[in-house]
Each structure stands twice: as structure tokens, then as C-alpha cells.
Amino acid sequence: MRVTNRMLTETTLTNLNSNRERLDRLQDQLTSSQRISNPSDDPIGISSALEFRSTISEIDQYLRNVDAANSWLGATDTALGAVNDTLHRARELAVQGANDTLSADDRQSIVTEVSNLIEATIGRANSTYAGQYIFAGVKVGTTPFSPVGNPPTAITYNGDGGAIARQINNQATMVVNSTGNTVFGPVFTALIGLRDALTSGSAGAVAATILDIDGALNSVISARAQAGARMNRLVGEQNRLESLKLDLAGLLSKIQDVDITSAISEFALQQSVYEAALAAGAKAITPSLLDYLK
């Protein structure tokens, strides 16, 4: 078959364009640090990369949920810890108030302190996190506890028994709230009972409130233990999610990130090939074509 000048020119241009495309692709990889620029570069790889990115995005959301849940539980533990201290102080005051030798002034001083403990406990029971009441059930926008009378003869619960759950992985949720009335009902009953017993002046009535205070303490301790167990679980889940995210990020990097050392070496090789092809073409085709290439 006779090779015409036109056939030689077209073949040379086709080969030069192919070399140029390989060189451009390597240059894109080096400047972007990405091995895959278009789906056609690696259809299977891009599919896996998209799946890994989706999973990593889900993990990031779970980690945010875990962080929010942990913060909520931390606020819960702080409030309950303060109430625990309050009840221990109330118990000390109850033991003092059960003494028949107390003067009226001494007894009134204890009444005043217990009244302050009641007010402080109402504040703790109405604690918030991120603008939401943490002991109101799902009625997070409603103040859960409000006093009846002044001084209060009772504390009304305005929340509900609903559970607030957070999705912590693709298979599990965790309830993060403690039911306010269950935790604080016994507390307010014990504190108001102690105040009223002290006001009555009956040492026996005051002594009888110690059992109620102990019961309230058990309620608070149980709620704190539950919150602590949940926080421990969240720490383990956070560690697991972060480890999984790191593994997936490594797999994603292997798929989409370019090996810089290899890419630089291949780029230099392809550049030499392209320059050699240009030189060979310059000798093989007419000067008019060379002028066109320049």
C-alpha cells in the first residue's frame, strides 16, 4: 500500500494528540492530586469512591449526634450532681432539726436554708442545654417545673414522659433524657416535707423526713448512674466511628489520590515521548506541516 504524504501527516497528528492527552492527564493529576478526574478514568474506582464518601458523610452525622448526646448528658449529670449535693446538705439539716434542744431561732435558720435549697433545686430542675429544657421530656420548650404558692407548697410538673433519642449509628439510637417528674418528684416532696416539719417544730416529724430524703437521693443517684452509663457507651461509639472513618478515608485515598512520585516519573517519561514524537514528526512530514505545528 502506498503511504501518501496526507496519510503520514494524519498519522503523525493522531499520535501527537494521543501523547498530548496522556501528558495533559498526568498534569491534571499532579496539579489536583487526584487520580480520577472523570468517571471514564476509572468507572469502578469512581463508584467505590462515591460509596466511601457517602458512608463517611453518614459517619460525620453520627459523630455530630454523639457529640450532641454527650453534651446533653453532661448537662444532665451536672444538674443532678448539684441536686445530689443539695440532698446531702438537706439530710444534715434534717439530723440537726431532729434535735429537741434547738432554739426557735436555730430552727428558723434551718427553715430558711431549706427554703433556699428548694429554690436552688427548682433552678436545677429547669436546667437547659442549647436553649432546651433537659428534664421536660419532649416538651423541651416548656419550663418543666413551677412552684405553687409562695413559699411553694408543691411543685407542678409541666413536662411529659416522652423520650428524646439520638441516632448514634446506622442501627442504634440512644435515649438521652431523664424523665423529670420521676427524678425530681421525690426530691421536691422530701425538701418541702422537711421544711414543713421544721416549721411545725416537731423533732419527730423532722426525723421522719430523713427516709424521704434518702429515697430522693437514691432517685438522683440512679439517674446519674444511668446518664454515666450512657456517656460511657457514647465514648466507645465515638471511638469506633472515628476509627471506621479513618479506615474509610484511607481506602478512599488509595482510590482517588495520585501517587505523586509515580506520577512525576511518568509525567517526565511522557514528556520525553511527546518531545521525541515532535522531533520525529518534524523529519517525517513536509515543512508546511511543521510550520502549522509551530
Question: pLDDT averaged over consecutive 10-residue blocks of the chain (294 residues)?
Answer: 55 60 56 56 67 90 96 96 97 92 89 96 96 96 95 95 94 93 96 95 92 96 96 95 89 65 57 58 55 50
CA distances from residue 246 to 59, 181, 251, 260 in whole angstroms, order as listed: 10, 42, 9, 21
Neighbours of 149 (CB within 10 A): 7
pLDDT of residue 290: 47
Omega before residue 151 within 30° of 0, cis: yes
DSSP alpha helix (H) spans, 98-139: 104-125
pLDDT of residue 211: 96
Distance separating alpha carbons of residues 116 and 114, to the nearest angstrom:
5
Domain positions in the chain are 51-250, 259-294
To which H or E segment does residue 156 belong? Answer: strand 154-157
Distance separating alpha carbons of residues 87 and 217, to the nearest angstrom:
6
DSSP letter (8 states) at residue 283: H
CA distances from residue 284 to 4, 270, 281, 291 in whole angstroms, order as listed: 12, 21, 5, 13
**CB neighbour class for 184 (10 Å; exposed up to 12, middle 13-18, buried from 19):** buried
- Report whether 183 contacts 220 (CB < 8 A): yes
This prediction's pTM:
0.75
pLDDT of residue 132: 96
Determine phi and psi for 163, rounding to 5 degrees. -100, 140
pLDDT of residue 248: 87
- Sequence-distant (6+) residues with CB within 8 A of 250 are none
Class of domain 51-250: mainly alpha
pLDDT of residue 2: 53
CA distances from residue 185 to 23, 79, 117, 145, 150 in whole angstroms, order as listed: 75, 15, 15, 10, 18
Tell me the three cell numbers of residue 41: 478514568
